[in-house]
Amino acid sequence: MSPPNLPSEIENRKSEHLRVCIEEDVEFQQLTSGLEKYRFTHCCLPELDRSDIELGTTFLGKSLKAPILISSMTGGTELAHLVNTRLATVAQRYGLAMGVGSQRIALEQPELAPTFAVRSLAPDILLLANLGAVQLNYGCGLEDCLKLVELLEADALILHLNPLQEWVQSGGDSNFKGLLAKIQQICAQLPVPVIAKEVGNGISAVMAKQLIEAGVAAIDVAGAGGTSWAKVESQRAKDNRQRHLGQVFADWGLPTAECITAIRSMNSTIPLIASGGLKNGLDLAKSIALGADLGGLARPFLVAAIESEAAVDELVKFLIAELEIVLFCTGNPNLSALKNSGALKPC
């Protein structure tokens, strides 16, 4: 146990993750999201007024004013609490979805649980709790999952899958054996939906099929092209071995666009979140046209939230405007029309 008033190992790791993500180059080096390989067919006569454009949608039974997810990134420190507070406030203002970072620290150090508690600031949003799936092999069970959901008053639980990060992380938890059966048990017994999510290396159609059969209610592909957590772990590594491994695998993963198209071809109905390398509303619109239901951004929101609530607000305004422009300039009044329009073509 840490001496009084000294941060624990997991607190230090959370703080280091935040620092590295903000200050260092943690993007994939060459591998991209793949979204740049597509472009929309421009419609010069949309037969729409801009007031006709509607971005509203539903996800897991919850109404959203725009198909934007503020993706999981942080929690467990004072700075993380400030970040989550700003993000939740803006999410409520614009009717967006939000996921918090891994809540494992809230189980191990209950005094840090309030750094995640944002429901009072965002009573109406789709709010997602979060736990590393591998923790089901390290003592976490149904009661812990319930506790995290109740702590956040969450609408669903993300179980994130991060084998590469755990391997290259100093002291990472890398026993993924028998995990699918445990995920299935949680899906069957938890009273809220479970979302399976990667952390930037992507989910293939084969893996998605297994997860869907295990009972997950939605998939967040979290593909390659954005933040490389192997690179993050390399940046914070204290020993040369871990630093080397993180660098070698900095570009490992499946591009986001490939994950979306492969999973949607395999299953036409599973609720699907596109994240991993989305930079703007144009990328988000491409993801939706490829078959996703929501688009998630993590680091862009983190950087904005570190700056100010106003910066988060400005980012959301840009995302919404960019989405609206895509709909308008493809002649589609809403997201459903965009999905069915065939307006997105390979370059």
From the annotation, which residues make up the binding site for substrate?
13-14, 102-104, 165
User: How large is the angle between the packed helices 179-189 and 142-152, nearest 10 degrees?
Assistant: 50
Cα separation of 205 and 30, whole Å?
Answer: 23
Residue 250's alpha-carbon distances to 14, 222, 257, in angstroms, are: 20, 15, 19
Pairing relationship of beta strands 344-346 and 38-40 according to DSSP bridges? antiparallel
Q: Evaluate whether 274 touches 222 at the Cβ level (below 8 Å).
A: no
Binding-site residues for FMN, please?
Answer: 71-74, 102, 130, 197, 227, 277-279, 298-299
Question: Which amino acid is located at 161 in the chain?
Answer: L
User: How large is the angle between the packed helices 9-23 and 78-94, nearest 10 degrees?
Assistant: 60
Q: Evaluate whether 143 touches 95 at the Cβ level (below 8 Å).
A: no
Binding-site residues for Mg(2+), please?
Answer: 166
Cα separation of 288 and 273, whole Å?
Answer: 9
Cα separation of 279 and 258, whole Å?
Answer: 17
Binding-site residues, please?
Answer: 13-14, 71-74, 102-104, 130, 165-166, 197, 227, 277-279, 298-299
Angle at alpha carbon of residue 276, lines to 213 and 333, rounded to 5°: 85
User: How large is the angle between the packed helices 9-23 and 299-307, nearest 10 degrees?
Assistant: 90
Q: Evaluate whether 18 touches 236 at the Cβ level (below 8 Å).
A: no
